[in-house]
Structure formats: C-alpha cells, structure tokens
Amino acid sequence: MASETDPTSPPKRYVVFSHGQESGPWGRKIASLAEIARSEGYGAESVDYRGIDAPRERITRLVDFCKELQGDLVLVGSSMGGYVSVASASLLHARGVFLMAPALYMEGLPPLRDGILDCPTAIVHGWRDDVVPHDHSVRFARQYGAALHLVDSDHRLHNQLRVIRYLFEYFLIALDLPAEAFE
C-alpha cells in the first residue's frame, strides 16, 4: 500500500489516485494534487499499477486497495487511471471522481456499463491531446453531467498543473457544500 498519510490520526476521508499506463503512483501531477488533498483534510493514497496492463486487473487492484480505507472516497485518475476510476466509482460508492485526460471510449478498452457514475465528477482535458481525443471527454461529460474543463495542453497536462490544482481544490471544497448551494 503506497501511502503518504499521517499514521497518528487516520482521516475519515481519502483521495485515491490512479496513474496512467506510462507513469507511476507518485508522479508529478499526483504528488502535486496530493498536497491539495491533504490541505483539505483528506488522506492521500496512490495505487501502484506498474506491470499491470489489463484494465480489469487494474480495476480489481483499485477495489481491493480501497477495501482497507474507511470513510469517504474521492477517486482521481489520469489517462488509463481515469478509465479505472470511472469503472470502479459505483463499486466503491465514491463521493466524487476527478479525471485528467481520461482514456474513455478508447479502442481496446472494455466498454463501460450505462449509468456507471452516480457521484459528482469533473474532467480536465487538453485541447491538443494526441493520445486520447478531447471529444471523448466532451461526450462523457454530456452523458453524465460532469463538469468539463478544456485547457491549452497536451495529454500530460503538465503546463496546466497550476490550473488543475485550483480546479481540484475547488472540486474537493464543493463536495462539502450542501446541494442547495448549486440551485
């Protein structure tokens, strides 16, 4: 279990990160967003999928990983990790899902079942992404009523990290607001 939480006072809520196919559990985006999660009172966890290529095995790894966590879960996924987070969200009763250039509707990935999301969701995707077309995120956001942020970036989104940090912080804060605040 890759963990960066304080063992003296276990949090009642967690952000669980799922990295992409070509990265690792504490890459640049995840490490940066973990700071935001901790500042908002969440434990920050990241699943290590290195060596696991099959999407279903990654989903199983995430579900098994989260069984040990007690409390609210916010799933955060980048690229393939976004697909894994979406596919696992209802199984884990996620409180929210935050996605970065998620590999949704990609050839070779098992199709997602209808109605797979039942929690607040936000997506950040680069206009210049040449790995996962931003149109896939537009389609998904339209179908599930997710917040969608299209930014001037490529698939890695590194040049927009400051914006992503801001959007992620807002997303976590908004999860704590009463539903009436959005009416």
Report if residue 8 sits inside a domain: no
Report if residue 69 sits inside a domain: yes
Residue 183 has a pLDDT of 54
Domain that residue 158 falls in: 13-175
Residue 181 has a pLDDT of 57
CB 86 within 8 A of CB 77: yes
Residue 30 has a pLDDT of 97
Q: What confidence tens digit (pLDDT) does each residue in 9-19 have?
A: 666 999 999 99
Q: What predicted TM-score, i.e. pTM, was given to this entire model?
A: 0.92
| Helix, strand, coil in percent for the chain, rounding step 5 | 35, 20, 45
Residue 8 has a pLDDT of 58
Q: Is the backbone of residue 145 left (phi > 0), alpha (psi -120 to 50) or beta?
A: left
* Sheet containing 13-18: order of strands: 43-47, 13-18, 72-78, 96-100, 121-126, 147-151
Report if residue 6 sits inside a domain: no
Residue 10 has a pLDDT of 62
CATH of the domain at 97: 3.40.50.1820
The alpha carbons of the chain give a radius of gyration, in whole angstroms, of: 15
CB 5 within 8 A of CB 43: yes
Residue 9 has a pLDDT of 60
Residue 177 has a pLDDT of 83
Report if residue 180 sits inside a domain: no
Comparing CA positions, the residue from 53, 43, 57 lying closest to residue 1 is: 43
Report if residue 182 sits inside a domain: no
Looking at the structure of the chain, the number of domains it has is 1
Mean pLDDT, the chain, rounded, equals 92
Mean pLDDT per 10-residue interval, the chain, length 183 residues: 52 93 91 97 97 96 95 97 97 97 95 91 98 98 97 97 98 85 55
Residue 2 has a pLDDT of 46
C-alpha dihedral (126, 127, 130, 131), degrees to nearest 10: 40
CB 87 within 8 A of CB 112: yes
